[in-house]
Chain A
């Protein structure tokens, strides 16, 4: 991870996506969590990102049209 010694919040921001994707190594994870435990500002933004991911997934999911399902079943090859 890039170093932001002078600005721990900027560093925490860089770790947000990998943290939420569970791909930080143990040391980085501990570092991120230590900062989050004392920084309400970053904690709010992490929580928002988590809610955003769930929300995006919910709102863009459209049910498959029933006619399409029937069309797919009709594409099955006849048994020889």
Chain B
């Protein structure tokens, strides 16, 4: 059998690489969506953002380095697009008095239910709406980190690369963001109890 010309071999190999890349990227779409849904303000925005991300990824697949974290690479595109879409800067809330400590949500929930002894049941006092709404109230900078680490299961290191911030900033934002989230949840419980 005659050997294929070098150009044809190269093109065939590139086509195989590209198909492989696209399939791998599409295989991660559920995980990308899970994060996008809460980085964006609404389902519609998340839908657009994910489509834009994949369109860009498919166009620039050559810049992806095989063997590195493709999920983080896709999320990096997505977060940059999200910022480009003119996400409004939000003022960081003052620390004082807002999220004084880490225990207060538990205290609030167990108090309002007359002292529940089973911790696994205490969380069930929070409805899905309470949590989705509280998460969306957390300022972007903090929410991005919570969504990547606590919901998207990214490491601190990956989150730092995706957001282009130092790892120490990821940790401090995560710590504070979780407190803000709990404060929002405690407020929603308080409102419901009124």
Interface residues, chain A, with chain B CB atoms under 8 Å away:
10, 13-14, 16-17, 21, 23, 44-45, 47-49, 51-53, 55-57, 59-65, 68-69, 71-73, 75-77, 79-80
Contacts and interface: CB of A to CB of B under 8 A. Distances in A.
B183 interface: no
Interface residues of B, number: 44
B106 A62 contact: no
A45 B101 CA distance: 12
Contacts of B128: 59-60
B107 to A, nearest CB: 8
A55 B126 contact: yes
Given A71-B51, A73-B26, A60 B131 contact: yes
Contact of A65 (B47, B55, B103, B109): B47
A77 B181 CA distance: 41
23 contacts: A13-B101, A13-B102, A16-B103, A44-B106, A48-B109, A48-B123, A49-B102, A49-B106, A52-B105, A52-B182, A55-B124, A55-B126, A59-B128, A60-B128, A63-B30, A64-B30, A68-B33, A68-B51, A72-B50, A75-B58, A76-B22, A77-B58, A79-B15
Contacts, number: 101
A68 B150 contact: no
B119 A72 contact: no
